[in-house]
Structure 1
C-alpha cells in the first residue's frame, strides 16, 4: 500500500498534470521579458561545440547567452571567440583557475554570470545539456507570470548501452518526478541547474550564495532557499525539456555528489520523506518472498498463490504508471528490469552518500 501511495500521488502526478492541460486545451500567457541564459563551463569545449548552437538558435525575441569559462585549459576560449563572431547575443568571460576552495568555483562562476546578466529573468543550463526544441526559452518563460518567480524545468539523460546509464536514467527520472510532484503539490524543495529559471532580483534579495560559501558544491541549496508555494511553478511541456549527455560515470557521480551535499542543508523534509518509499521497496519484495517460502514450506498453495497474485498485480500497476510517465519524459521503458532498478537504485544512492560522508572526514 505504501508503494501504491507513492506511485499514484507522486510518480504519476507530473504526467497526469500535463495530460490534464492537454485535455483542457491550456493556452499559456505569453510573457516575454529579456532572458539571460547562463552556463558555467570548465574544460568542456567538446560539449559546448555540440550543445551551444541549440541554445544560440532559440526562437525567442530578446535573449542573451552568457558562458563563464571557469579556468578551462582546453579549447573553450577559442571556441567561444569563434562563435561570438556570428552570434552577437553570445557573451563570455574568463575566471582564472584557483585552488582556493573557500568559495566554491562553480558558485563564483555562476555569480559572475548573474552579475553580468542584462535580463530580468535568468535561465540556467549546463555545457553537457541542450534543449530539445528551439522553443525551450519560450516554454520555460511562458510559465512565469507576475506571481511566479521560479520555474523548475526537466532534464532527461541520453541513452547509451552502458549499464550505469540505465540506472542513472531511472534514478534521474525518479528524482525528477519527486521534485516536480512536490512543486505541483505546493511544496517545492529543489530543482536542477540543467534547467531552471528565476528572476535576477531574487538572487540579490536573498544575498546569492552567501549563506553557504563554505560548501565546495551545493548550488542547489539556493534553489531550496528561494522556492515557496506561491512563487514557484513547473515547466514540463515537451518543448521545455533539456537532454543531458550521460556517457560518463564520473559526470553522474559529480551530479549525485552535488545533490548529496545540498540536501543536508535543505529546509525541507522531502528527501527523508522519499527515503521511506525507496527503502520500503525492500520490505515489499522481502515480504513477498517470505510469504512464498512460508507457503511452500507448509504446502499452503492458496497462500503461495496470494503472494504470486500480489506480486503480479503490483508489478502490472507499477509498470503501467511508470512506463506511461517515463515514455513521456523520455526516460525509456522498464518491464521486468523495473524490479532490478527498484532494488539497485537505492543501493547506488546509498553508495554515493556513504562516499560523500567519508570525504567530509
Structure 2
C-alpha cells in the first residue's frame, strides 16, 4: 500500500482519489464494526412485570377500510393486564372506515373514535390527527401504530409498556416489512434493516435520534409539556423521527427488540410508491440535530465514496493485492455486521447478497436525495395516487 501511495503522491488527482477511498473504507469499518454492531451483541434487558401503566393505543387513519377489520382482529388478541383503550383518529375518510369503526364500537369496549372534518391551514394532516388523538387519550402512557400494521404477538403491548420504568418517556420498537418473493420486497426489507440497525444501535449507545411511528410509545404529559409537534407541525412527515430527535435522550429513552414486540407492516408493491414513501421520510432528515446529521451524513457519504470509487481505484491502480485485501476487508465487516444484526431482528437476508444490496443502497439513496430537492409531498396517506407536486 505504501508503494502505491508514494507512486501517486505526485499526482494530486489520483492521490486524492486513493486517499478518499481509503478514508471512506475506514469509516465504513468504524460504523459497522463499532457503532452499528451493538444491536447484535447487546444483551436483552429484563423488564419487571410490576407497575404496568394504563395505556392508550392510538391509530390515525385515512381511508383504511381494507385494513381496519384485520387490524382490529389482531389488536383484540392483545393480552394486557391493565386497562387500555384503542383510540382511532379518523382523518377525513371518504370510504367506509368510520362506518366499520362505529360497528365495531358496539362490541368492543376498548374502542373509541375521534373524527376530524378539517385540518387547520399550515399543519401536517397526520400530525394534527395524531395530536388530536393524544389530546383525547384517556391515559398518560401511549402506544402508536398504523392501520396497515400487525403486531407479531399478543404480548406486543405488554412488552412495550413494560419499558416505562423510572424516567423513561420514549420506547423505541422495530417494525419490519412482511416477507414476499421478489427483488423489490428484498430491497425494501434491506433498507428497513439498515435503518433499524442505525437508529436502534445508536439508541443503545445513548443517542436516540429517531423512531418509527409504526411501533413507538411515549408519554402524553411529556409530549404536551415540551410543545408536541409545534416546532415542525408544518412538515408533512416527522410525527415519529423528528419528535424523537427533538425530545429523546439517553436518560429518557429505552428500546424493545424482542421478536414478540415487532410490528409488521405491508410493504409497497411498486418501485414508484416505495421511492415516493422514502422521499417523504428523507425530507424530514434535514431537520435532525446537527450532530445527528453529521453522524449519519458521514456514514452515507463514506458508503457512497467507498462503493463508487472502488472500480475507479482498481482501474487506475490495477489489481493490487493490498487494495484488494483492503476492499475485501471493508466488505466483510459490512456484510458480517448486517448479517448478525439481521439474525437478531429476524430478517431474512443472505450474507452473499448483502454487498450487492449495499451497493444498490448507494444508488437508491442518491436518487431519493436528489428527488427531495425538486418535489414536496401533499398527502400523508399511502393510498393516495398523487403524493407529490413540483416545488415552486
Matched-pair contact (CA < 8 Å) for 1:155–1:243:
yes
1:5-25 Cα distance to aligned partner (Å, 9 max, x none): 1112233211211xx237xxx
Shift, 1:294, TM fit: 5.2
Aligned to 2:223: 203
Matched, 1:30 2:50: yes
How many residues align structurally?
A: 349
Aligned to 2:205: 185
Matched-pair contact (CA < 8 Å) for 2:304–2:362:
no
Aligned to 2:40: 15
Distance 1:324 1:7 in 2: 11
Distance 1:257 1:174 in 2: 16
The alpha-carbon distance between structure 1 residues 280 and 166, as it changes in their structure 2 partners (threshold 3 A), is same
1:60-81 Cα distance to aligned partner (Å, 9 max, x none): 0221111111111122112212
The alpha-carbon distance between structure 1 residues 85 and 258, as it changes in their structure 2 partners (threshold 3 A), is same
Distance 1:213 1:287 in 2: 40
Aligned to 2:339: 323
Aligned to 1:224: 245
Distance 1:251 1:128 in 2: 15
Matched-pair contact (CA < 8 Å) for 2:33–2:333:
no
Aligned to 2:320: 304
TM-score by length of 1: 0.88
TM-score by length of 2: 0.82
Aligned runs of 1:334-345 on 2, under 5 Å? 334-345=350-361
Shift, 1:334, TM fit: 3.1
Q: Secondary structure at the match of 2:363?
A: helix
Shift, 1:295, TM fit: 6.1
More helix by share: 1
Which of 47, 52, 57 is the equivalent residue of 2:77? 57
Matched-pair contact (CA < 8 Å) for 1:148–1:231:
yes
Q: Secondary structure at the match of 2:56?
A: strand
Distance 1:4 1:217 in 2: 32
Which of 27, 42, 51 is the equivalent residue of 1:2? 27
Shift, 1:2, TM fit: 1.8
Shift, 1:129, TM fit: 1.0
Distance 1:48 1:279 in 2: 41
Distance 2:223 2:48 in 1: 26
- The answer to which of 274-283 and 185-194 deviates more is 274-283
Aligned to 1:40: 60
Which of 261, 271, 276 is the equivalent residue of 1:240? 261
Distance 2:312 2:334 in 1: 21
Aligned to 1:300: none
Distance 2:308 2:233 in 1: 44
Shift, 1:309, TM fit: 3.7
Matched, 1:157 2:177: yes
Shift, 1:136, TM fit: 0.6
The alpha-carbon distance between structure 1 residues 271 and 31, as it changes in their structure 2 partners (threshold 3 A), is farther
Aligned to 1:358: 374
Q: Secondary structure at the match of 1:210?
A: coil
Distance 1:357 1:101 in 2: 23
Matched-pair contact (CA < 8 Å) for 2:177–2:264:
yes
Shift, 1:50, TM fit: 2.2
Distance 2:369 2:331 in 1: 28
Unaligned runs of 5+ in 2: 1-25, 376-390
Matched-pair contact (CA < 8 Å) for 2:197–2:341:
no
Which of 277, 280, 302 is the equivalent residue of 2:299? 277
Shift, 1:318, TM fit: 3.1
Unaligned runs of 5+ in 1: 297-302
Matched, 1:265 2:265: no
User: In angstroms, what is the RMSD of aligned CA positions?
Assistant: 2.3
1:232-285 Cα distance to aligned partner (Å, 9 max, x none): 111111121111110334654454244223222222422332232223234334
Matched, 1:137 2:157: yes
Aligned to 1:299: none
Shift, 1:290, TM fit: 4.7
Aligned to 2:93: 72
Q: Secondary structure at the match of 2:222?
A: helix
